[in-house]
A and B are shown apart, each in its own frame.
Chain A
Amino acid sequence: MTSYLGEFEQLLLLAVLRLGADAYAPELARELEARAGRTVSRGHLYTTLDRLEDKGLVRWKLAPGGAVRDGLPRRHYTATAAGVAALRESRDVLRRMWRGLEGALGEP
């Protein structure tokens, strides 16, 4: 049984995958805002990242921070295999649910 992914968790995981080596919190927030139009409070962002980590869907490693951060470290996120699998599962569920609804939505 795969763990259920909330909508924001999905968006966040997708952003981690898209950003690859650049996936740390400020960039994630920017990506979500640019691509999904979502402005997200940092409280929400970090607690969601922590939750994804608890579920084993992301992991992170520390990287040194520059002068702009007063030398404070960065956390770079990568999606785990389980994270990718959970995303795939969520996408498939959605696809199944969407299939055949074109008529109801008034689309060709």
Chain B
Amino acid sequence: MIQRDPPRLARVLVERVLPEDARGRAIVGDLLEEFRRDDRPGRAARRYWFHALSMAIRYRTVPTPQPVREHSSMLESILYDVKHAARLYLKAPGFALAVVATLGLGIGASTAIFSMVHAILITPLPLPDPGRLVWINETGHNGSFISTAWPNYLDWRARQHSFESLALSREEPLTLTGLDRARRIRARRVTGNFFQTIGVAPAFGRALTDDEDKANAAPVVLVSDGFWKTTLGGDPSAVGRILQLDQTPYTIVGVLPAGFQYLRPYDVFVNIGPVAATPYLAMRGNHNGFYALGRLRPGSALEPADREIRAIAADLEREHPGTNASVSARAMLLQDRYVADIRPTLLALFGAVGFLLLIACVNVANLLISRGASRRHELAVRAALGGGRLRLVRQLLVESTVVSVAGGVLGAGIAALLLRALVAAAPDGTPRIADVALDRAALLFALGAAGVCGVVFGAFPALQVSGVDGQQALVRGRAASFSAGSHRLRRGLIVVESALALMLLAGAGLMIRTVQELINLDPGFRPDHIVTTRMTLAGPQWTDERQEAFRSDLVERLKALPGVRNAALTFALPIDGSQWNSIFIVEGKPVPERAQLPAAAFTPVSTGYFETVGMRLLEGRTFTSGDTAKSQTVVVINETLAKRLWPGEDPIGKHLKQGWPEDKTAWREVVGIVADVKFNGLTNDTPLQAYLPLTQEPMRTLAIAARTAVDPGSVAPAIESVVHQMDKDMPVYLTRTMDDVLAASIALQRTSRIVFVTFAVVALVLAAVGLYGVVAQGVTERTHEIGVRMALGAQQRSVVSMVIQQGLSMAIVGSVIGIAGAIALSRWIQGLLFNVKATDPTTLTVVAAVLLAAGGAACLVPAWSAARVDPIKALRTE
């Protein structure tokens, strides 16, 4: 038989609880024998633990014949304290439930939000050495981010020294045909050094090469592991196969390793070569959606790299004043850039949840203090009978730790549920949302918070007790159990709690106002009953004539569908934003410096577009079937453009031209002015807009917009099948109703509102409960005094108002501090708001009123019981 040893800790436990005599040694021997005779070590260890724990419990609770020993060990007496605490709480579960629920809510909410912050903002991107990956884009005038022009990138690459590798890439969805049904896949067009920059090599096959950036290089593609497994069926001879992407044959040269993901789950990565020859790429003034990605040299920092790129951009501006006027560049860590949009929201929520956790802790502190005070008498008796002071302090600490840990466990459960809800409610496209999980760091955070709560707030009553003048407490008895000091402390805590609750309420109020503003906002068109979808006419077979025939045929067929009242095509939908921004010049006006040339969002649309989406024509006409490729070139402008370029004039009949002054683009006659629509999301100002007839400016990427008489979602399948009847290889994607587009554009604000309001309501309830507790306790203690007052002729009404006044005074002081705090913190939340100032006086007034109303309500019950004090009884009890 192998002489195994039982688990050390369990054996220590057994030896500690058993008497150190023959009896105890025999039991230790029995357990050892049973442990060693069990032929399954795992089961033996489990059983040993089970018996050890049963022994620990039994030998502490059942009186045994052994003599009481003078010196009990630390571990034993802490175990005893834990058991004692558990028994106390079971006897009066109300207190423990209140503490555990409060802490559970605070810790649960903060753990959930911390998990999101950790997964999205803190955890490094799952790429090799991500701290050296830098995202670089160009900036236009007023510093707005624009994409990087190909010639500028080539110059950066040649002149820079900060990066060991500098790549360029852009997101470019492609149409995959020839495998099954045509579909859109997620693709990224990248330079040959892209994977070298990231630091990832293909699982098999080869990476791209610099030669594959050259104009007319053969089209090649690297596929992701997921795409290889699902679409290509894990074909081991995939390398060398051809993929038809946008009707161009791309040769598969490699398969990327499993688990690799660059920001989003791309299906394929294709080389620059096939588009490198296109003239638009070679033009320095064209920013075609590309962004640079650099890997810093070891030891290089971001700051100098950013300075170097800006310096190169400044040189380029001097060398190419025609195209690079006021164009600069900006380098940021890839990770920071990727999560830049969500960061302010997450940080604001993190701050809010921190307040909530503080409120929960303050509430628990209050509960523990009041409990400690009400047990003053008991503790004083024990101290008088010789209970060690340290021993009493330790017992109180153990008691508060027991509830804190229980709160932590409950909090972890709440966090898991809340996190699932938050992930479900997160807006589409939230970066890294798939990585969000209740992680170990978050759990440690929860348990750490619970531990700190236990120790810090257990210490308050413990210290108070340790300072008790035992005799005084004994003499004064139960009625005078509260010291003035603990009263002040509790009132102070209520003030803090009210202040924190007010700040959370202010956040919630501001988010409610923001969402209200967004919902009430006039988008400039009628979004109801519109369904939209997108398609791409890809490949060389689509000549201009064929496109024109296809478009008019498509619109006619769509209009003929049952339930469809009107249909049109457009290059860019409202809210969804611009696909084509360009500078333009105006006839008959001095041409400004190149850096000052106006820019507009150019949007080719079919006839009937304005009517279909419900835009208002302010002046002139919209496009008609008379506007053809051969007729006078025309343009419809929006109100903003009209006011900016022709202030106080009538723009109808004037001319403008897209592009640089020297470009050979056509002059277009302004034939109409339409009202502004919200174009780049709901919150951004409407840009200058120029609408062109699709007949005169054909586009291959188009959106269908159909106005329906019925539920717009119900017509979507019919629209898709019309397109497929006309061309079975045409992928239709991103089918949404316009209402969905609107809702998605304010999803972040809506989610923030829900979270803020939830937190604020919990905070309000906690603060009200805390206030109620303090006021009620105050009334109980002052029963005698109130009795005397009433015996001396005080009216019930004056007693009620006295109690409410004293309670509300705490809430009022808290509100004032809270308003000051909310104003101080306003800049942290301003970025989340729309059309509302973070210091909005109306909102602050309303939330203060809400807080005071809740405070008043919390005081009513104790005030009522104070008013019903029977003076005779109150006086007799003393």
Q: How far is the CA of A29 from the CA of B37 in the complex (A)?
A: 14
User: Which one of A26, A43, A44, A54 lies within 8 Å of B30 (CB-CB)?
Assistant: A26
Q: B58 and A69: CB pair below 8 A? A: no
Interface segment out of the listed A70-78, A85-93, A95-103: A70-78
Stretch in B19-27, B597-605, B805-813 with 4+ CB within 8 Å of A: B19-27
State whether the Cβ of B580 lies closer than 8 Å to any Cβ in chain A: no
Residue A42 CB within 8 A of the other chain: yes
Residues of chain A lying within 8 A (CB to CB) of residue B36? 68
Q: Would A68 and B1 count as touching, CB distance under 8 A?
A: yes
Closest 4 CB pairs of A and B: A72-B29, A43-B54, A43-B58, A41-B54
- Is B631 part of the binding interface, using a Cβ–Cβ cutoff of 8 Å? no
Report the bound CA distance from A50 to B62 in whole Å: 10
A41 is contacted by which of B22, B51, B62, B64 (Cβ under 8 Å)?
Answer: B51
Q: How far does the alpha carbon of A51 sit from the alpha carbon of B62 in the complex, in Å?
A: 10
CB distance from A52 to the nearest CB of B (A): 12
User: Given known contacts A26-B33, A41-B50, A42-B31, is B62 in contact with A47 (CB within 8 Å)?
Assistant: yes
Q: Is B65 an interface residue (CB 8 A)?
A: yes
B residues within 8 Å of A by Cβ? 1, 3, 22-23, 25-34, 36-37, 50-51, 53-59, 62, 64-65
In the bound complex, do residue A75 and residue B23 qualify as a contact, i.e. CB atoms below 8 Å apart? Answer: yes
Which residues from B are CB-within-8-Å of A47? 58-59, 62, 64
* Choice from B33, B51, B55 contacting A69 with Cβ under 8 Å: B33
Report B-chain residues with C-beta under 8 Å of the C-beta of A26.
30, 33-34, 37
Q: Counting CB contacts under 8 A, is A104 at the interface?
A: no
Question: Shortest distance in angstroms between B13's beta carbon and chain A's nearest beta carbon?
Answer: 12
**A contact residues around B57 at 8 Å (CB):** 43
In the bound complex, how far is the Cα of B54 from the Cα of A65, in angstroms? 24
Q: Which residues of B contact A75 (CB under 8 A)?
A: 22-23, 26
Question: Is A46 in contact with B27, judged by CB distance below 8 angstroms?
Answer: yes
Q: Are B54 and A68 in contact (CB under 8 A)?
A: no
Whether A5 is near chain B, meaning CB under 8 Å from some CB there, is no
In the complex, chain B residues whose CB is within 8 Å of the CB of A29 = 34
Interface centre among B30, B53, B58 (most CB of A within 10 A): B30
- Cα distance A106–B59 in the bound complex, in angstroms: 44
Q: CB-CB < 8 A to A68: which residues of B? A: 1, 3, 32-33, 36-37
A84 contacts the other chain (CB 8 A): no
A62 at the B interface (CB under 8 A): yes
Contact A62 B26 (CB under 8 A): yes
Residue numbers in A under 8 Å from B25 (CB-CB): 72-73
Say whether, besides A68-B1, A68-B33, A69-B32, A44 and B58 are in contact (CB < 8 Å). yes
Task: Determine the distance from Cα of A42 to Cα of B33 in the docked complex, in whole angstroms.
Answer: 13
**In this complex, what residue of B is CB-closest to A61?**
B22
Q: Could you tell me the distance between the alpha carbons of A68 and B4 in the complex, rounded to whole angstroms?
A: 10
How far does the Cβ of B297 sit from chain A's closest Cβ, in whole Å? 64
Complex Cα distance A42/B26, Å? 13
Min CB–CB distance A53 → chain B (angstroms) = 8
**Across-interface contacts of B28 in A (CB, < 8 A):** 72
- Provide the residues of chain B in CB contact with A11, threshold 8 Å: none
A17 sits at the interface (CB 8 A)? no
Known A-B contacts A50-B65, A70-B29, A74-B29; the reply to A43 vs B55 at CB < 8 A is yes
Given contacts A50-B64, A75-B26, contact A70 B58 (CB under 8 A): no
CA distance A54 to B32 in the complex (A): 26
What's the nearest-Cβ distance from chain B to residue A2, in Å? 21
The answer to whether the Cβ of A25 comes within 8 Å of any Cβ in the partner chain is yes
Collect the chain A residues with CB atoms within 8 Å of residue B55's CB: 42-43, 46
Q: Whose C-beta in chain B lies nearest to the C-beta of A42?
A: B51
CA distance A26 to B55 in the complex (A): 15
Given A62-B22, A73-B22, A73-B25; A43-B32 close (CB under 8 Å): no
Contact indicator per residue, chain A 6-33, by CB within 8 Å of chain B (1) or not (0): 0000000000000000001110010000
- In the assembly, what is the distance between CA of A74 and CA of B23, in Å? 9
Residues of chain A within 8 A (CB-CB) of B51 are: 41-43
A69 to B31, CA, bound (A): 9
B53 to chain A, nearest CB (A): 8
How many Å from the CB of A91 to the closest CB on chain B?
27
B5 to chain A, nearest CB (A): 9
Q: How far is the CA of A44 from the CA of B1 in the complex (A)?
A: 29
The smallest C-beta distance from A77 to any residue of chain B, in angstroms, reads 11
CA distance A42 to B55 in the complex (A): 6
Chain A residues with Cβ below 8 Å from B32 are 68-70, 72
Beyond the given A25-B30, A42-B54, A68-B37, could you list 8 further A-B residue pairs with CB under 8 A, ordered by the A residue number? A41-B50, A42-B27, A42-B51, A43-B51, A43-B56, A43-B58, A69-B29, A73-B29
- What's the least CB distance linking B8 to chain A, in Å? 14
The complex places the Cα of A2 from the Cα of B31 at a distance, in Å, of: 33
Residues of A within 8 A of B3 (CB): 67-68
* Shortest distance from the beta carbon of A63 to any chain B beta carbon, whole Å: 9
Query: Which of A41, A43, A44, A74 makes the CB contact (< 8 A) with B26?
Result: A74
Q: Which residue of A lies closest to B56 (CB)?
A: A43
| Interface CB pairs A-B, < 8 A, 10 | A43-B51, A46-B55, A47-B64, A67-B3, A69-B32, A69-B33, A72-B25, A72-B26, A73-B25, A75-B23
Task: Knowing A42-B54, A72-B25 are in contact, say whether A54-B37 is a contact too (CB < 8 A).
Answer: no
Q: Which residues of B contact A54 (CB under 8 A)?
A: 65
Question: How far, in angstroms, from A91 to B330 measured CA to CA in the complex?
Answer: 94
Hey, which chain B residues are within 8 Å of A44, CB to CB?
54, 58
Q: Is the pair A25, B27 in contact by a Cβ cutoff of 8 Å?
A: yes
Q: Report the bound CA distance from A21 to B536 in whole Å.
A: 93
CA distance A50 to B55 in the complex (A): 13
Query: What residues of A have a CB within 8 angstroms of the CB of B65 in the complex?
Result: 50, 53-54
A74 to B62, CA, bound (A): 23
Q: Residue of A at shortest CB range from B66?
A: A50
Residues of A within 8 A of B59 (CB): 43, 47
A41: B residues at CB distance < 8 A: 50-51, 54, 58
Whether the Cβ atoms of A46 and B29 lie closer than 8 Å is no
Chain B residues with CB under 8 Å of A43's CB are: 51, 53-59
Closest Cβ–Cβ distance, residue B50 to chain A (whole Å):
7
Once the chains are docked, how many angstroms separate the CA of A46 from the CA of B56?
Answer: 12
Contacts of A25 in B (CB 8 A): 26-27, 30
Docked pose: A50 CA to B26 CA in angstroms: 13
Which residues of chain A come closer than 8 Å to B37, judged between CB atoms?
26, 68
> Contact at B22–A46, with CB atoms within 8 Å?
no
Chain B residues positioned under 8 Å from A24 (CB to CB): 30
Q: For residue B14, which residue of chain A has the nearest CB?
A: A42
Contact check, A46 vs B58: say whether CB atoms are below 8 A apart: yes
A42: chain B residues within 8 A (beta carbon): 27, 30-31, 51, 54-55
Q: Compute how far the CA of A106 lies from the CA of B319 in the bound complex, rounded to whole angstroms.
A: 110
User: How many whole Å from A105's CB to the nearest CB in chain B?
Assistant: 35
CB distance from A59 to the nearest CB of B (A): 13
Distance from B293 Cβ to chain A, minimum over Cβ atoms (Å) = 64
- Give the residue name and chain of the A residue nearest to B18 (CB): A46
With A43-B51, A54-B65, A68-B1 already in contact, the answer to whether A73 and B26 are too (CB < 8 A) is yes
With a cutoff of 8 Å between Cβ atoms, the chain B residues found around residue A70 in the complex are 29, 32
Contacts of A46 in B (CB 8 A): 27, 55, 58
* Distance between A81 CB and nearest chain B CB, rounded to angstroms: 21
Kindly report which residue of chain B lies nearest to residue A75, judged by CB atoms: B26
Q: With the chains together, A82 CA to B62 CA distance in Å?
A: 24
Interchain CA distance A42-B50 in the complex, whole Å: 9
Cα(A43)–Cα(B64), bound, Å: 12
| Nearest chain A residue, comparing its CB with the CB of B26 | A75
